Chains A and B, each alone.
Chain A
């Protein structure tokens, strides 16, 4: 039964990549206005879960509902147009395009890029300085900021962010945490994060995925206090 307080409800999805059965029953609910984090070891299926929601690796079974509308069977561009922003792992910014072009490509009919630019540059002031520089010339941290910024150009209802802290220096991670926290005031966020410290600072809720199945979910504060659970599924004390 759909809960009106949830922006996204993923129920028991199964996803194959080629002949490999990657997701074997993942259930995730994302309450409106929250930051929900998907946790799990490498290869557990976190990224595939985000890709399945986005329609990039469509599930063969199960349901994905965004505010009452099913996403299953829709193509990624339609899902994006329905208000789902996606920040993939490894950033996937367009290296040959300038910062301005990277942002402009995400603009949709009716979007006011100027107005959104004020909000975006408020979060990531560096991007304003490098507005006309190719994305490939930015540092790793700036590229990550650009990837998040690009997803903020349209006013999305849900933002999927995959491993934002991956490969970044601690000082950059701190500013990214601050930016994600601020943007979550406007958009609901579903995050994949390997760095448990970052996840525990940012998220309100968690879902642990293990071997392609969602195994535990709840409030992040409860998880932080449950060392046995953290040790069992995430391998960190």
Chain B
């Protein structure tokens, strides 16, 4: 109990510290402060979509899936392509985007199932091989995307459904894209949805039990391998969904996989390996830190590199204070 209270105090201190730092360096410009905060939430939501699958897969299966970023990228490319495909231009624009997201998510999930069933399953007894394999699969996916779509990235060029991509709203005199708020809302909705799945359903109980002791779950009459496949598929599908809904804002490019994978790994570790709550809170902490440092570095240091190393710096700081992460189990 004492440790939990200390953890919440640490989260509160770091968050308030980041907000104060952002406010002070905004020199009282509430518009700049507000947009930084919203950018942090936007990034946090996307980090969560990549990190949640990573975290649940690691917790249950002890696999650190380096291909998770590639699934994010696949979701973005598939959604982008379907939305912009000439052959589908006849479909109502309000329908085309959700269909693209659905297709991106399903394709991501199916590729996840293929990876787990076809390649990872024979390597369950060899964790190092699994690690190398997912790393290799990430490279293969990247090359495949390059072969199909070329090396040039794509920017979202047309309107999305219901004009949500184009609309803006004002915050303290600054314009902010409604779409980013939509992504935040989707991220929060998924946190709740996955949380409910884990807490309130039988499959959720099985997953949480499997995170503790998958051998015992199997000995209770549950086909753990089938659960592994389901969780891996779900994790990849959620990452692909993240890429799909990020596409109207970020477009589709070959760098986006790694750009989200590395912060997501930092989130999973600093949140506490295998902890869903740690992943959810960690995502928004990292998102906020990246947004705050990115604005500060671009305004005052004229360098962007600080934003990309911020997740790792935050990870180091938290591991120094909490060696097993925010909500991780202390090793006995």
Partner of B220, one of A56, A75, A101, A106: A106
Which of B11-19, B63-71, B168-176, B211-219 is found at the contact surface with chain A?
B211-219
**Distance A54 CA – B219 CA, assembled complex (angstroms):** 7
In the complex, what residues of A have CB within 8 A of residue B219's CB?
A: 54, 56, 76-77, 80, 86, 88
Asked whether any CB of chain A lies closer than 8 Å to the CB of B208, the reply is: yes
Nearest B residue to A109, CB-CB: B221
Selected contact of B212 from candidates A86, A96, A106, A150, CB within 8 Å: A96
Q: Which residues of B contact A41 (CB under 8 A)?
A: none
Chain B residues whose C-beta falls within 8 Å of the C-beta of A75 in the assembled complex: 218, 223
| B 146-163 binary contact with A (CB < 8 Å = 1; else 0) | 000000000000000000
Q: Is B3 an interface residue (CB 8 A)?
A: no
* Least CB distance, A86 to chain B, in whole angstroms: 5
Q: Would you call A92 an interface residue if the criterion is a C-beta within 8 Å of the partner chain's C-beta atoms?
A: yes
B223 touches A77 (CB 8 A): yes
A residues near B5, Cβ cutoff 8 Å: none
Asked if A95 contacts B212 (CB within 8 A), the reply is yes
User: Is there contact, CB below 8 Å, between A94 and B209?
Assistant: yes
Q: Chain B 192-205, CB within 8 Å of chain A: the 1/0 string?
A: 00000000001001
Which residue from A81, A92, A101, A108 sits with its C-beta under 8 Å from B216?
Answer: A92
Complex Cα distance, B223 from A195, in Å, reads: 34
Is A105 interfacial (CB 8 A cutoff)?
yes
Pairwise interchain contact B208-A96, C-beta atoms closer than 8 A? yes
- In the complex formed, the residue of A with least CB distance to B220 is A106
The proximity string for A residues 61-85 relative to B, scoring 1 for CB distances below 8 Å and 0 otherwise, is 0000000000000011100110000
- B213/A92 in contact, CB under 8 A: yes
- Whether A101 pairs with B221 at a CB distance below 8 angstroms is no
Contact B220 A150 (CB under 8 A): yes
Residue from the set A92, A105, A108 with the largest chain B CB neighbour count within 10 Å: A105
Q: How many residues of chain A have a CB within 8 Å of chain B?
A: 21
A237: CB under 8 A from chain B?
no
- Complex: A80 Cα to B219 Cα, angstroms: 6
Q: Which of A75, A77, A97, A108 has the most CB of B within 10 A?
A: A77
Query: A2 in the interface, Cβ–Cβ < 8 Å?
Result: no
Q: Chain B residues near A77: list those with CB within 8 A.
A: 218-224
Q: With an 8 A cutoff between CB atoms, is A40 at the interface?
A: no
User: Which of chain B's residues have a CB closer than 8 A to the CB of A228?
Assistant: none
Q: Which residues of A are found within 8 Å of B224, using beta-carbon distances?
A: 77
Expressed in whole angstroms, the minimum distance between the Cβ of A45 and any Cβ of chain B is 19
Q: Are A94 and B208 in contact (CB under 8 A)?
A: yes
**Does B206 sit at the interface, judged by CB under 8 A?**
yes
- Give the complex CA separation of A17 and B230 in angstroms: 29
- Cα A154 to Cα B219 in complex, Å, equals 12
A215 at the interface (CB under 8 A from B): no
Question: Does A201 count as interface, using CB distance less than 8 angstroms?
Answer: no
Cα–Cα, bound, A106→B218 (Å): 10
Check if A104 is an interface residue, CB within 8 A of chain B: yes
Contact A108 B221 (CB under 8 A): yes
State in angstroms the CA–CA spacing of A164 and B205 once bound together: 25
A109 to B270, CA, bound (A): 39
Chain A proximity of B139: nearest CB distance (Å): 32
A residues within 8 A CB of B212? 94-97
- A108, B222: Cα distance in complex, Å: 9
Q: What CA separation (Å) do A75 and B219 show in the bound complex? A: 9
The docked-state distance in angstroms from the alpha carbon of A75 to that of B208 is 21
Residue A97 contacts which of B205, B218, B221 (CB distance < 8 angstroms)? B205
Give the docked Cα–Cα distance between A105 and B221 (Å): 9
The answer on a CB contact under 8 Å between A80 and B216 is no
Q: Are B218 and A105 in contact (CB under 8 A)?
A: no
Q: Is A97 a contact of B213 with CB atoms below 8 Å?
A: no
Given contact pairs A77-B221, A97-B205, A105-B222, a sample of 20 additional A-B residue pairs in the complex whose CB atoms are under 8 Å apart: A54-B219, A56-B215, A75-B223, A76-B219, A77-B219, A77-B222, A80-B221, A81-B221, A86-B220, A88-B216, A92-B216, A94-B213, A94-B216, A95-B212, A97-B209, A101-B209, A104-B202, A105-B202, A105-B220, A154-B221
B residues at A contact (CB < 8 Å): 202, 205-206, 208-209, 211-213, 215-224
Q: List 13 A-B contacts (CB under 8 A).
A: A75-B223, A76-B218, A77-B218, A77-B220, A77-B224, A80-B221, A86-B219, A92-B216, A94-B213, A97-B208, A97-B212, A105-B206, A105-B217
Q: Which residues of A contact B (CB under 8 A)?
A: 54, 56, 75-77, 80-81, 86, 88, 92, 94-97, 101, 104-106, 108, 150, 154
